[in-house]
A and B are shown apart, each in its own frame.
Chain A
Amino acid sequence: MSTAAPVGARPGSAGRGPVTDLFLGGGRARRTTWLVVGLVVLFSAVRVISGQTSLTSSSTMAAALLLAVPLLLVALGGLFAERAGVVNIGLEGMMILGTWGAGFAGYQWGWAGAVVGGLVMGALGGLLHAVATVTFGVDHVISGVAINILAAGLVRFLSELLYTDNPAGGGVTQSPAVSSRPPSFSLPVLSSGPDLLGSLESRHWFLVSDVAGILRGFTSGVGVLTVVAVLLVPASYLVLWRTAFGLRLRSCGENPAAADSLGVPVYRLKYVAVLISGALAGLGGVFLVFIANIYREGQTGGRGFIGLAALIFGNWRPGGLAAGAGLFGYADALQLRSRTGVVALLLLVAVLLLAAAVWQATRGKVTQAVTAAAFAAVLLVGYITIDVLPEGIVSFTPHLTTLLVLSLASQRLRMPKADGLVYRRGEH
């Protein structure tokens, strides 16, 4: 079904945290909840066995949230474009433009200016993509790649032009520092003040400390814009599935000819969708600038692409892509926080694979079961023998995770039917 329960609309869910609610897209709410519970237990168990407290520590979780938000925004950007039928590989480029815009506006007018600057620059990238794909009918992937190339060149050019002799600082590859930081807050009592969660976390009790760590990570020192970004997930759902505008936008991604025959302005909607897409990707860039408090060339580090992967992982749905962004954000946070923690991840994946092997075996799929078991064994050996993974290898943990997840899940995914197809009015 294409309808799903609105996020957080279940009266019984009052006791759950905001992040848990995120995972409740769809009528599969209960199954998702159990999945989350199961994962927490699993993480907790692996944390106890391996002794890697970083697996569930509040600092890892806070970092994961911080790193997931840009991915989340980019993926939401991708959602708008692809639901309207425009594949957007150019998200990376739009994000790059967003970082530059945030840096440029941010050092002059503070954090609010940075937000506007990033949104505008990202939207400009989106506009370019829309002109190429919608008006001129260029292949979406080609246009996206061209925009990525162009964006990288453009920001270098602009920096060279505006920052090299700038008294405020900056240079060819970076802007002056953003002049003010966005406000952030912590939950009183629980995560600040007495910090009850913090003290629980430091006890290292099975499950209890893990849950405390996770919650504290999500509730202490959270930026206002992080909250906004998270709220954008249910907001996007409501806009796309509960308004006439959203219905029209989705119809362009499913069957533009049908939409056109009903008087839906397909081209205009695609333009709007791609503009929103670019603006959201740009906003993702703004977040990266806020993390570093400065614009730096290469800051995006391919996050535009990972956001796209999160979108696919999430089956082109807001809840799903949020889960994808969370997963990749976590993988990224862990590799930054603790390289030994990544090794513990091997154990975790081994356990998951073993479970998969058992499940496949009960369904009589011997080959799959054996393959999964074999991989599990390899990972287990890896976990036992390896102490620290070298830096080069750890750096691509999120990308490898993406690749693995996609190769396991790709066949169950369903993209909008006319996604990536160039629509020309009246052409046969």
Chain B
Amino acid sequence: MSLVRRVATPLLAPLLAILVALVISALVILAIGQDPLAAVRVMFDFGDRPSQQTQAIVTVLNRAVPLFLAGLAVSVAFRMGLFNIGVEGQYRLATIIAAAVGAAVVLPAPLHVLLIVVVAMAVGALWAGIVGVLKVTRGVSEVISSIMLNFIALGLASYLLTGPLRGSGEGAAIITTATIPESGWFPSLNGLLSAVGLAEPRSDLYGFLLVAVVAGVVVSVLVKRTRFGFDLRASGMSASAASASGVDARGMVVKTMLISGAIAGLIGLPDLLGSTHNYGTEFTAGLGFLGIAVALLGRNNPVGIAFGALLFGFLDRAAIPLQFADIPASVVTIIQGTIVLSVVVANEVARRLVRRQAERAGGAAGAPATPAEPAEPAVRTESTGSKA
């Protein structure tokens, strides 16, 4: 296969899907009597002054970082055929506990941040681990249990916030945990921006971006290059073949959920360590579900997920400017939802095409006139483990 085809083939499906989604969204905007082109102009309008433009980029990146981590968390589980819908609960619970721990201690800066990160990862892993343990010991579908654990986590978080971990005073409009001292803040990357000649933005570019990049690289190497990753992908493609090959299926489920949960624990930290410095009722919600979308968009591949996260970050930034242009901000959600749905359809169609191509190629190369005789009636599609 030529390099061009190798790169282009996996890209084709998502690009096509995004195109379809944009056409549908344009029709929606037309239907409400607005000009789709105007909407596009608004979306791409990053402002006139250099600082405005840098600010727009920073806003997109700052939104993309948690989205990327969420997508990464979901994708690790996906790779072995597990559906971690519980990312939402995992990161919310992890963030509030990490915020409280961070506010309760005073440590030298790097250690302080490290402690918060470790606590968040541990809580996320623990919460996701419950899902894994219930699946292997009690046979509870991870889909149902992680949904239920989401509600429980949100309930617990709200209890902790209003009860034992409350830091804001009585009568405050927004209830929050106590604020983390400055030693527990993650330094911003604005220095980097000026180093490449960009104007100083109004707000900080999250330093956590670097952690996200590292996490992406680590996950990528782990999944693609290691024995553990092989076992994980094999389990995703065929659980029965994996266990016959010596993979401990039960252990694998728990380990994968722990890893997925640990990454999920990081999702809230860019905002926590970079801007809010406490967890409150207004803390960013919904990242877990968007993470599923981003993972699907990126076909469970870290590079793809990064692009997906940037795309969603870009769309989210456009919400407020769109409102100024008299276009409902929820158009963004519609675009995102349509993208997800068209991407999963496109991925499935692409997977089928690749498979059919392979069968055709093999049919010509292998022994002639041997269509596989015992036809299996139905095949479980492992679209969750599809290879990028």
Q: Direct A–B touching in the complex (beta carbon < 8 Å)? A: yes
Interface residues of A (CB under 8 A from B): 89, 128, 132, 136-139, 141-143, 145-154, 156-157, 160-161, 255-258, 302, 305, 308-309, 312, 390-393, 395-396, 399-400, 402-403, 406-408, 410-411, 418, 420-424, 426-428
A121 to B377, CA, bound (A): 34
Q: Kindly identify which residue among B134, B336, B383, B384 contacts A149, using a CB–CB cutoff of 8 Å.
A: B336
Say whether, besides A392-B160, A424-B379, A139 and B144 are in contact (CB < 8 Å): no
A390 to B164, CA, bound (A): 11
Q: Which residues of A contact B378 (CB under 8 A)?
A: 256-257, 418, 421-424, 427
The smallest C-beta distance from A316 to any residue of chain B, in angstroms, reads: 13
A423 to B380, CA, bound (A): 8
* Closest residue of B by beta carbon distance from A396: B155
Q: Kindly identify which residue among B138, B340, B375, B380 contacts A428, using a CB–CB cutoff of 8 Å.
A: B375
A157 to B322, CA, bound (A): 13
Question: Is residue B337 within 8 Å, beta carbon to beta carbon, of the partner chain?
Answer: yes
Would you call B163 and A390 a contact (CB within 8 A)?
yes
Would you call A428 and B348 a contact (CB within 8 A)?
no
Would you call B151 and A411 a contact (CB within 8 A)?
no
* Closest residue of B by beta carbon distance from A145: B292
What are 28 pairs between A and B in contact, CB < 8 Å?
Answer: A89-B143, A132-B345, A138-B347, A139-B344, A139-B383, A143-B341, A146-B337, A149-B293, A151-B337, A152-B333, A153-B330, A153-B333, A154-B333, A154-B334, A157-B28, A160-B328, A258-B377, A305-B147, A391-B162, A392-B155, A396-B155, A406-B144, A407-B145, A408-B138, A410-B138, A420-B380, A426-B375, A428-B376
From 125 to 164 in chain B, residues with beta carbon under 8 angstroms from any chain A beta carbon are 134, 138-141, 143-145, 147-152, 154-163
The smallest C-beta distance from B202 to any residue of chain A, in angstroms, reads: 27
Instruction: Identify the 5 closest CB pairs spanning chains A and B, nearest first.
Output: A392-B159, A153-B333, A257-B377, A150-B337, A396-B155
Contact with A along B264-300 (1 / 0, CB 8 A): 0000000000000000000000000110110010000
A395 to B148, CA, bound (A): 12
The smallest C-beta distance from A102 to any residue of chain B, in angstroms, reads: 20
Question: Is residue B338 within 8 Å, beta carbon to beta carbon, of the partner chain?
Answer: yes
Would you call A147 and B152 a contact (CB within 8 A)?
no
Q: Which residues of A contact B381 (CB under 8 A)?
A: 137, 139, 422
The smallest C-beta distance from A72 to any residue of chain B, in angstroms, reads: 18
The smallest C-beta distance from A172 to any residue of chain B, in angstroms, reads: 8
A428 to B268, CA, bound (A): 44
Would you call B330 and A157 a contact (CB within 8 A)?
yes
Q: Kindly identify which residue among A147, A392, A399 contacts B162, using a CB–CB cutoff of 8 Å.
A: A392
A163 to B88, CA, bound (A): 30
Would you call A138 and B333 a contact (CB within 8 A)?
no
Say whether, besides A145-B292, A153-B337, A136 and B379 are in contact (CB < 8 Å): no
Question: Is residue B186 within 8 Å, beta carbon to beta carbon, of the partner chain?
Answer: no
From 314 to 361 in chain B, residues with beta carbon under 8 angstroms from any chain A beta carbon are 328-331, 333-334, 336-338, 340-341, 344-345, 347-349, 352
Would you call B352 and A149 a contact (CB within 8 A)?
no
Give the number of chain B interface residues (Cβ < 8 Å): 60
Question: Is residue B365 within 8 Å, beta carbon to beta carbon, of the partner chain?
Answer: no
Q: Which residues of B contact A145 (CB under 8 A)?
A: 85, 289, 292
Question: Is residue B372 within 8 Å, beta carbon to beta carbon, of the partner chain?
Answer: yes
The smallest C-beta distance from A84 to any residue of chain B, in angstroms, reads: 14
A291 to B232, CA, bound (A): 47
Q: Kindly identify which residue among A400, A423, A428 contacts B372, using a CB–CB cutoff of 8 Å.
A: A428
Would you call A150 and B330 a contact (CB within 8 A)?
no
Say whether, besides A141-B83, A146-B293, A157 and B147 are in contact (CB < 8 Å): no
A309 to B252, CA, bound (A): 25
Q: Which residues of A contact B159 (CB under 8 A)?
A: 390-393
Q: Which residues of B contact A138 (CB under 8 A)?
A: 344-345, 347-348, 383
A337 to B365, CA, bound (A): 71
Question: Is residue B369 within 8 Å, beta carbon to beta carbon, of the partner chain?
Answer: no
Say whether, besides A302-B151, A424-B379, A407 and B331 are in contact (CB < 8 Å): no
Question: Is residue B172 within 8 Å, beta carbon to beta carbon, of the partner chain?
Answer: no
A143 to B333, CA, bound (A): 16
Q: Kindly identify which residue among A153, A305, A427 contacts B379, using a CB–CB cutoff of 8 Å.
A: A427
The smallest C-beta distance from B289 to any residue of chain A, in angstroms, reads: 6
Q: Which residues of B contact A157 (CB under 8 A)?
A: 28, 328, 330-331, 333-334
Question: Is residue B32 within 8 Å, beta carbon to beta carbon, of the partner chain?
Answer: yes
Q: Which residues of A contact B158 (CB under 8 A)?
A: 391-392, 395
The smallest C-beta distance from A90 to any residue of chain B, in angstroms, reads: 11
Q: Which residues of A contact B337 (CB under 8 A)?
A: 146, 149-154
Q: Which of A142, A395, A424, A427 counts the most chain B CB atoms within 10 A?
A: A142
Q: Which residues of B contact A156 (CB under 8 A)?
A: 330, 333
A137 to B340, CA, bound (A): 15
Q: Which residues of B contact A418 (CB under 8 A)?
A: 378
Say whether, besides A152-B333, A390-B159, A411-B138, A403 and B148 are in contact (CB < 8 Å): yes
Would you call B296 and A142 a contact (CB within 8 A)?
yes
Q: Kindly identify which residue among A137, A308, A395 contacts B144, using a CB–CB cutoff of 8 Å.
A: A308
* Closest residue of A by beta carbon distance from B157: A392
Q: Which residues of B contact A160 (CB under 8 A)?
A: 328-330
A421 to B160, CA, bound (A): 41
Q: Which residues of A contact B328 (CB under 8 A)?
A: 157, 160-161
Say whether, besides A154-B334, A392-B163, A407 and B144 are in contact (CB < 8 Å): no
Q: Which residues of A contact B330 (CB under 8 A)?
A: 153, 156-157, 160
Q: Kindly identify which residue among B143, B145, B333, B336 contacts A403, using a CB–CB cutoff of 8 Å.
A: B145
Q: Which residues of B contact A391 (CB under 8 A)?
A: 158-159, 162
Q: Kindly identify which residue among B83, B140, B292, B375 contacts A406, using a CB–CB cutoff of 8 Å.
A: B140
Q: Which of B28, B331, B340, B345 counts the most chain A CB atoms within 10 A?
A: B345
The smallest C-beta distance from B372 to any residue of chain A, in angstroms, reads: 6
The smallest C-beta distance from B358 to any residue of chain A, in angstroms, reads: 14
From 145 to 194 in chain B, residues with beta carbon under 8 angstroms from any chain A beta carbon are 145, 147-152, 154-163
* Closest residue of B by beta carbon distance from A255: B377
Q: Which residues of A contact B340 (CB under 8 A)?
A: 146, 149-150
A309 to B349, CA, bound (A): 31
A318 to B345, CA, bound (A): 32
A148 to B150, CA, bound (A): 15
The smallest C-beta distance from B325 to any residue of chain A, in angstroms, reads: 14
The smallest C-beta distance from B153 to any residue of chain A, in angstroms, reads: 9
Q: Which residues of A contact B85 (CB under 8 A)?
A: 145
A152 to B333, CA, bound (A): 8
Q: Kindly identify which residue among B144, B163, B349, B384 contacts A142, using a CB–CB cutoff of 8 Å.
A: B384
Would you call B156 and A410 a contact (CB within 8 A)?
no
The smallest C-beta distance from B347 to any residue of chain A, in angstroms, reads: 8
Q: Which residues of B contact A408 (CB under 8 A)?
A: 138
Would you call A256 and B377 a contact (CB within 8 A)?
yes
The smallest C-beta distance from A388 to any residue of chain B, in angstroms, reads: 12
Q: Kindly identify which residue among A142, A309, A400, A411 contacts B383, using a CB–CB cutoff of 8 Å.
A: A142
Other A-B pairs, 8, CB within 8 Å; known A137-B352, A256-B377, A302-B147: A141-B83, A151-B337, A156-B333, A390-B162, A411-B138, A420-B380, A421-B378, A427-B379
Would you call B348 and A149 a contact (CB within 8 A)?
no
Q: Which residues of A contact B289 (CB under 8 A)?
A: 145, 148-149
Q: Which of A128, A139, A418 counts the most chain B CB atoms within 10 A?
A: A139
Q: Which residues of A contact B154 (CB under 8 A)?
A: 396
